[in-house]
Amino acid sequence: MSPPLLTAADPLPTRPHRVLVAGTSGSGKTTVARQTATTLGAPHIEIDSLFHGPGWTPRPTFEADVERFAAQPEWVTEWQYSAVRARLAARADLLIWLDLPRGVVMRQLTRRTFVRRFRRQELWNGNVESPLWTVFTDRDHILRWAWRTHHANSARVLHLAQDRPDLPVVRLRDRDEARAWLTGPLRKSTT
């Protein structure tokens, strides 16, 4: 039996200080993390910026950088990268789960990928989206990755909820629920 999950309308038991935002690529993790951090007055650490070095290579200081910020009393970040996922989960006092349907995620991600590529928008450490045609040749192209791994997030979150029944998990299934939660229960937890 799975532990109960909070909805967009449920009050939080306490004000969170260390928050993880889970969801597949393109689900809106960074946007929700940034908005959560602003509401809480906590720093948002965009974990992709710590992981990706120039040329999309993993930065050698990634795990040490994560250890450093995770030791702080307040932070908000995205819950990804298997090398640090357990350490972040052990320190978190709230997990926000963006459990959006695959079709919604793929539309959002496709739009984002096209916009970033056409604008040649710099992401982290000089990196830009790869050419669009690589979706056909690169098994780990972000669009293919999101499609292939969408289901894994549910299992990962539910497993964590069972391992850490003390960790509140807020399950948000669409943008309207995310907005309602950010302006309702999250904001109320800070007063």
How far from chain centre, in Å, is Cα 177? 16
Domains detected in the chain: 18-189 (3.40.50.300)
Q: pLDDT-based confidence at 2, cuts 50/70/90?
A: low
Alpha carbon distance 162, 157 (integer Å):
9
At 87-121, the pLDDT tens digits run 999 999 999 999 999 999 999 988 988 888 888 88
Residue 3 scores a pLDDT above 70: no
Q: Encode pLDDT of 18-41 as tens digits.
A: 999 999 988 999 999 999 999 999
Q: Which of 91, 90, 95 is nearest to 73 (CA)?
A: 91
The pTM assigned to this predicted structure is: 0.92
Does the pLDDT of residue 133 top 90, yes or no? no
pLDDT tens readout for residues 53-95: 999 899 999 999 999 999 999 999 999 999 999 999 999 999 9
Cα distance between residue 89 and residue 77, in whole Å: 11
Which pLDDT does position 78 carry in this prediction? 97
- List the structure tokens of 61: 């200081």
Secondary element (H or E) of residue 105: helix 102-119
Question: Chain centroid to CA 102: how far?
Answer: 16
- Specify the residue for token string 């050419």: 131
User: From CA 179, how far away is CA 184, in angstroms rounded?
Assistant: 8
Q: Across residues 3-26, what is the average pLDDT? A: 92
Tokens describing residue 158? 């539910």
Per DSSP, the three-state class of 76 is strand
The type of residue at 183 is: T
